[in-house]
Amino acid sequence: MFIYTERKRPDPLSHYHREAGHPILAPLQWVEWSCRWLVYWLSGWAFLEVLEYVGTISVFFAVVSYFAESGDRIKQKHYQAWQVINTAQGRGGNGGRIDALQELNADRIPLVGVDLSGAFLQGIHLQSAHLSRSNLSAADLRDSDLTSADVSDANLRSANCRQCILRNVDLERADLTDSDLLSVDLTGADISGAILANTDLRNANLSSLKWRDSPNLKNANIFGVKNAPEGFIAYALKQGAVQIEADSQ
C-alpha cells in the first residue's frame, strides 16, 4: 500500500551532475532528476490518495464477495462433475469420470445409484464413497482403492477388480457374478448375502471377512485365498466353489 506524503523538494540538476562522476552518466541523472520532480509534484495531490483508498476498498469488497459466493462456486463444480458423469453414462473409457467422481466424493457427495457400467476407472480412489445400488457392471476398477466404501446392493457383474483395495468395504447383497477379484484385499469386508457366482477370488486376502447370510459362491475360484475366516473355505466348497490355480484349467 502506497502512502502519499509531502516529499522533499528535489535538489538542483547541477547537484545530480556532480554526483554522476562521468559525463556519460549525465543523461541518466537528468532522467532521475525529472522523475524526482514528477514524484514531488504528484505527492501533493490528494486525488491520488483518494484513488488509493478507493482501490483498497475495492479489494476488500472483492474478498468479501469471493467468500460470499463460495457456496455457488461449489454447487457449480458439483453440477459440472455430474454433467461429465451423466454425459459418459453407458459408454466405455474414462471420459473424465475419474476426476469427477473423486471430486464429488472428496466433498462427501453421495454417489448412490450412479451408472458407471463399462467405465474405465483403473486406479480410482473412492475411499468411504456411498456407492450403494450403483451400476458398475463390466467396469474396469483394477488397482483402485474403495476402502470403507458402501457398495451394498450394487451391480458388479463382470467387473474387473484385480488387485483392488476393498478393506472394510460393504458388499452386502452386491452382485459380483463373473467378476475378477484376483489378489484383492478384502480385509474386514462384508459380503453377507452377496452373489459371487463364477467370481475369481484367487489369492485374495480374506482377513476378518464378514460372510453371514449365506453368500452365493457357486463356481467361485478360491484358490490360494489368504487369511480366510474359520469355516469359510468349507462353506465355499459346499456351495460349489472350486480351487483352480491357472486360467487354462
pLDDT tens-digit series, residues 183-210: 999 999 999 999 999 999 999 999 999 9
Average pLDDT taken over every residue of the chain: 86
The reply to whether 138 and 248 lie within a common domain is: yes
Instruction: Summarize the confidence of residues 118-143 as an average pLDDT.
Output: 97
The amino acid at 170? D
Instruction: Summarize the confidence of residues 27-46 as an average pLDDT.
Output: 66
The reply to whether 121 and 176 lie within a common domain is: yes
Is 212 domain-assigned? yes
Is 75 domain-assigned? no
**Rg from Cα positions in the chain:** 34
CB 147 within 8 A of CB 131: no
With 0-12 / 13-18 / 19 or more C-beta atoms within 10 angstroms meaning exposed / middle / buried, residue 235 is: middle
The reply to whether 172 and 238 lie within a common domain is: yes
pLDDT of residue 104: 96
The reply to whether 124 and 238 lie within a common domain is: yes
What are 12-25's pLDDT values in tens digits? 656 555 555 556 65
Give the structural domain span for 200.
96-249
* Statement: residue 78 has pLDDT above 70: yes
Task: Collect all residues with Cβ–Cβ distance below 8 Å to 242 and sequence separation of at least 6.
Answer: 219, 220, 221, 222, 223
Number of domains in the chain: 2
